[in-house]
Amino acid sequence: MKKDFIFREINSLKGVGSQLSKYLKKRKIEKIKDVILNLPYSETDRSIISKINDLEIGKIHSIKVQVKKLNFPRIRNLPNKIICEDDTGKIDIVYFNSREGYLRKLFPLDEWLIISGKVNFFNNRYQITNPDYVTTLENKDYVVKNIPKYNLTKGINEKKYRSISDQVINNLPKIDDWLDSYFIKKNNLVTWNDGITNLHTTNDAKNNKSKSYRRLVFDELCANFLALSVNRKRIKIKKSPKKFNSNYSNFIIKHLPFKLTNSQKKVFSEINSDLQSNSRMFRIIQGDVGSGKTIVSLLSVLNVIKSGYQCALMSPTEILSKQHYELSKKIFGKDKIKIDFLTGKTEHNKKKIILERLKDGRIDLLIGTHALFQKKINFKKLGLVVIDEQHKFGVKQRSDLAKKGGDECDVLLMSATPIPRTMMLSLYGDMDISKITEKPAKRKKIITLSKPEKKIDELWPYIKKQIETENQVFWVCPLIEESPFLEYSSAKKKYELINKKFPDKVGLIHGALEKKDKEIILKKFLNKDLSILVSTTVIEVGIDFPNANLIIIENANKFGLAQLHQLRGRVGRGNIQGTCILLFKEGLSKTAIKRIKILKNTNDGFFIADEDLKMRGFGDLIGYQQSGIKNFRFADPIIHEDLFKLAENYVLNIREDINEKKYLFLLKLFDKAEIINIKTFN
């Protein structure tokens, strides 16, 4: 078999017609490689020998029996039958189409044998038809090996699927391993071929610490790091350095109502040297909520505009984009910088004007949502793209973005999503990372408290006091993943309750509201016409409400540590003490108590992310899955932490060209080749 056998369509296998391949596609088994990566979830344990009177009909069993009688009917179409027994009962071993001579040899009279196969019940007697194994006691080990079992979908029976997977595994071409035998031995791994074969024919798939499983994890990680490394090389190409005078940014810094933190200054200078260098910037600012990323990005925008280019600033929601828009108008207002605002909901005529102005270079800075990257949108001279709070940006999007921007376009991402250290490189390995580690000096640590929901009444006097002293309150309603409608109705109910207590002071905001209405309410809240804002989770973490100092989160046990940390970051952004109250249904579990303890003790988002991962485990990180952070099929940053490091080093030290066949094979195996636009395989 040739190596490219692995990448053929599934219907190129014998016995896989169009009907079957349709079913398999539903299970995302499209190519032969997908069969290879579809590991058995459990297997039939044939090592256990059952007594005949313990047999379960329909299941696979192994039995130890004595051959009592052979029955070869002389009538056509009647099967040959061997009657066997143990000390608990009798069983018929039935063969269709097997020759007498063969069976007499296999079943010597009075001999004790191990027989294994699926058990049926017929004519008042147990029987096994065409057993999978018949062997003597001495050769017991032959039977005892296990048979893999796979997750199946409707329309494929187990035997059929196994015949497909057997066909693939038995014909597995010998791969030119990308790991040399010294490396394999030293790191206690196995060859690719052995690994895959073991995973499908032994218990190894069940044990994520087995050598074969670890080999697969290592490969998956390498494929991931390789893709990032290719992406980085693609993006960090030559560009013309941007030339600007630092007087402009210094002027703005001088007139800010606060002093930049050292961390902010450091990151700003890292960005500036990227802008001035002759290779493209591809950088991410990682900084906790409220660490002041926005101002750093706006100062960078200013420098790029002053060097004669246009800039685009994209954020995931309207509300956040609008806030950035207002802020930049305020900051750049006197600087004659032309700023505009574009979202998917911008009116047609307005949009047309914006598009024309963009093309003519009459807009310096365009701020908005995903709409900024529609096909129709053409900049005259785009020099910088800034993307805020976009943790859903995977390698593919980053790669597309860099292409769309053009060769002269620098790229800056900003994220407050706490990411566990182990995951950092596997997510952002293609980018340079700047970290804002400091919070603005006067910022106080957010006080975090917890309360059972039934004591909710104790909150009202407290809230009343807050409102009287001009503080504002967020009330985040239950997180109900299953139904946006329920989410909405529960927010509405809560709104009604709170509104009764504090008439005319409460606003409600949820995903089903019109953009206009949303904005009216948010504006009212920002202008302090409203004191309490009841919301579902629609309010993005990045929005800045300097007067909101209390946040109440209902059903807090449904959120992970990292998410709670992000939510509480909505308050306490000014210089006043922020408070976060977590409401729980019923008594707290041990882990919930531990979580609150961690939240109370630290404000360090990076630390919290690590703890979150440890406590919940990778598999349970729903929030991470949604955000695209959980991008591995086999690797688990807790269980395979050592392999993350090993793979990182391995990829860093690859001297050869990544276009070498063996690495392309690896990239294709894990669907990375398409992501980074490698198409050829020869």
- Report the interface residues with ligand ADP, using CB under 6 A: 258-261, 264, 287, 289-295, 416, 440, 542, 544, 546, 573
Which residue reads 């309207």 in tokens?
A: 318
Residues 64, 68, 72, 78, Cα dihedral to 10°: -60
What is the nearest approach in angstroms of ligand ADP to the Cβ of residue 372?
19
What is the nearest approach in angstroms of ligand ADP to the Cβ of residue 3?
48
Q: Which of ligand ADP, Mg ion, none does residue 295 bind to, with CB < 5 to 8 Å depending on kind?
A: ligand ADP
Residue nearest to Mg ion (CB): 542
What is the nearest approach in angstroms of ligand ADP to the Cβ of residue 326?
12
Which amino acid is residue 377, in one-letter code? I
126: number of Cβ within 10 Å: 20
Identity of the residue, 14 or 330, whose beta carbon is nearer to ligand ADP in the bound complex: 330
Identity of the residue, 224 or 264, whose beta carbon is nearer to Mg ion in the bound complex: 264
Identity of the residue, 316 or 542, whose beta carbon is nearer to Mg ion in the bound complex: 542
311: number of Cβ within 10 Å: 29
Q: Which of Mg ion, ligand ADP, none does residue 131 bind to, with CB < 5 to 8 Å depending on kind?
A: none
Which positions touch Mg ion (CB under 5 A)?
Answer: 542
Identity of the residue, 116 or 603, whose beta carbon is nearer to ligand ADP in the bound complex: 603
Identity of the residue, 388 or 487, whose beta carbon is nearer to Mg ion in the bound complex: 388
Identity of the residue, 243 or 442, whose beta carbon is nearer to ligand ADP in the bound complex: 442
d(CA 94, CA 159) in angstroms, rounded, equals 19
Which amino acid is residue 374, in one-letter code? Q
Spatial strand order in the sheet of 548-553: 447-452, 579-584, 548-553, 472-476, 532-535, 506-509
What is the nearest approach in angstroms of ligand ADP to the Cβ of residue 512?
27
Phi and psi based region of residue 338 (left: phi greater than 0; alpha: psi -120 to 50; beta: remaining): beta
Q: Which of Mg ion, ligand ADP, none does residue 148 bind to, with CB < 5 to 8 Å depending on kind?
A: none
What is the nearest approach in angstroms of Mg ion to the Cβ of residue 391?
12
What is the nearest approach in angstroms of ligand ADP to the Cβ of residue 409?
22
Q: Which of Mg ion, ligand ADP, none does residue 260 bind to, with CB < 5 to 8 Å depending on kind?
A: ligand ADP
Bridge partners (DSSP) of residue 413 are 284, 387
Q: Which of ligand ADP, Mg ion, none does residue 291 bind to, with CB < 5 to 8 Å depending on kind?
A: ligand ADP
d(CA 487, CA 454) in angstroms, rounded, equals 20
Q: Which of Mg ion, ligand ADP, none does residue 544 bind to, with CB < 5 to 8 Å depending on kind?
A: ligand ADP
Identity of the residue, 358 or 541, whose beta carbon is nearer to Mg ion in the bound complex: 541
Residue from 259, 217, 655, 255 nearest 442 by CA: 259
Q: Which of ligand ADP, Mg ion, none does residue 289 bind to, with CB < 5 to 8 Å depending on kind?
A: ligand ADP
What is the nearest approach in angstroms of ligand ADP to the Cβ of residue 588?
29
Q: Which of Mg ion, ligand ADP, none does residue 238 bind to, with CB < 5 to 8 Å depending on kind?
A: none
Q: 68: burial class by Cβ within 10 Å (0-12, 13-18, 19+)?
A: middle
Q: How far is CA 346 from CA 391, 402, 543, in A?
A: 25, 25, 21
Identity of the residue, 290 or 383, whose beta carbon is nearer to ligand ADP in the bound complex: 290
Q: Which of Mg ion, ligand ADP, none does residue 258 bind to, with CB < 5 to 8 Å depending on kind?
A: ligand ADP
Q: Which of ligand ADP, Mg ion, none does residue 573 bind to, with CB < 5 to 8 Å depending on kind?
A: ligand ADP
Residue from 290, 370, 333 nearest 572 by CA: 290
What is the nearest approach in angstroms of Mg ion to the Cβ of residue 539?
13
2: number of Cβ within 10 Å: 7
Identity of the residue, 238 or 259, whose beta carbon is nearer to ligand ADP in the bound complex: 259
- Cβ(220)–Cβ(644) under 8 Å? no
What is the nearest approach in angstroms of Mg ion to the Cβ of residue 291?
9
Identity of the residue, 131 or 292, whose beta carbon is nearer to ligand ADP in the bound complex: 292
Taking the mean position of all CA atoms in its chain, how far away is CA 505?
A: 40
What is the DSSP secondary-structure string of 394-461? -HHHHHHHHHHH-TT-EEEEEE-----HHHHHHHHTTSEEEEE-PPPTTPPPPEEEEEEGGGGGGHHH
What is the nearest approach in angstroms of Mg ion to the Cβ of residue 416?
6
Residue nearest to ligand ADP (CB): 292
What is the nearest approach in angstroms of Mg ion to the Cβ of residue 398?
19
Identity of the residue, 223 or 533, whose beta carbon is nearer to ligand ADP in the bound complex: 533
The vertex-659 CA angle with 654 and 660, nearest 5°, equals: 75
Q: How far is CA 180 from CA 173, 183, 186, 189, in A?
A: 18, 5, 10, 11
Cβ contacts of 232 within 8 Å, gap of 6 or more: 282, 429, 430, 431
What is the nearest approach in angstroms of Mg ion to the Cβ of residue 295?
10
Q: Which of Mg ion, ligand ADP, none does residue 399 bind to, with CB < 5 to 8 Å depending on kind?
A: none
- Cβ(260)–Cβ(440) under 8 Å? no
Identity of the residue, 405 or 542, whose beta carbon is nearer to Mg ion in the bound complex: 542
E strands present in 273-409: 282-287, 310-314, 339-342, 365-368, 382-388
Q: Which of ligand ADP, Mg ion, none does residue 400 bind to, with CB < 5 to 8 Å depending on kind?
A: none
